């Protein structure tokens, strides 16, 4: 018989792949209520959205929102709305500029360093995190950095 933790990990993996909660309940043998609780308490929906929404998609959604805002504001010809339009457009432009920036190699190195510190912390109580695993991850991170610095 599988342990509850194994079912939860399997359910999480299925959820992140886009499987419905009902289907996850069937595949794991766990009640729909339990699945719903795991999704809510673990903030799985937010995590899945973070994996599935890319920067270009967000930028495109913002551009569509700007287009709708312009169409609506200009068709109403409301002076108050027209006066507030430049401020709204500036805010949209600022968000788009922030989203549209590419991640620098410095950002990547900072993330890798934070991840390495986290792994070292977890190693003190998680037996799956072995020195060999940490060495392999560090080697792959170094390779990634080396290959992407030249681009």
137 and 121 inside one domain: yes
pTM of the model: 0.42
9 and 45 inside one domain: yes
Q: What is the pLDDT of residues 30-50, one digit of tens each?
A: 999 999 999 999 988 888 876
112 and 140 inside one domain: yes
pLDDT at 5: 61
Lowest mean pLDDT among 60-64, 79-83, 131-135: 79-83
96 and 119 inside one domain: no
List the one residue out of 43, 34, 47, 45 whose CA is nearest residue 8.
34
Dihedral of alpha carbons 132, 135, 141, 143, sign = negative
Range of the domain at 12: 4-52
Q: What is the pLDDT of residues 108-141, one digit of tens each?
A: 888 888 898 899 889 989 999 898 998 999 899 8
118 and 139 inside one domain: yes
Number of domains in the chain: 3
């Amino acid at each position: 018989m599988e342990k509850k933790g194994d079912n939860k990990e399997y359910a999480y993996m299925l959820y992140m792949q886009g499987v419905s909660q009902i289907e996850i309940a069937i595949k794991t043998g766990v009640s729909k209520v339990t699945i719903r609780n795991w999704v809510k308490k673990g903030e799985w929906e937010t995590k899945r959205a973070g994996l599935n929404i890319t920067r270009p998609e967000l930028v495109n959604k913002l551009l569509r929102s700007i287009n709708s805002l312009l169409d609506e504001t200009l068709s109403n010809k409301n002076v108050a709305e027209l006066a507030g339009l430049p401020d709204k457009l500036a805010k949209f432009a600022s968000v788009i500029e922030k989203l549209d920036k590419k991640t620098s190699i410095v950002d990547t190195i900072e993330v890798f360093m934070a991840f390495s510190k986290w792994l070292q912390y977890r190693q003190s109580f998680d037996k799956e995190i072995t020195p060999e695993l940490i060495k392999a991850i560090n080697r792959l991170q170094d390779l990634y950095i080396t290959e992407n610095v030249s681009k």
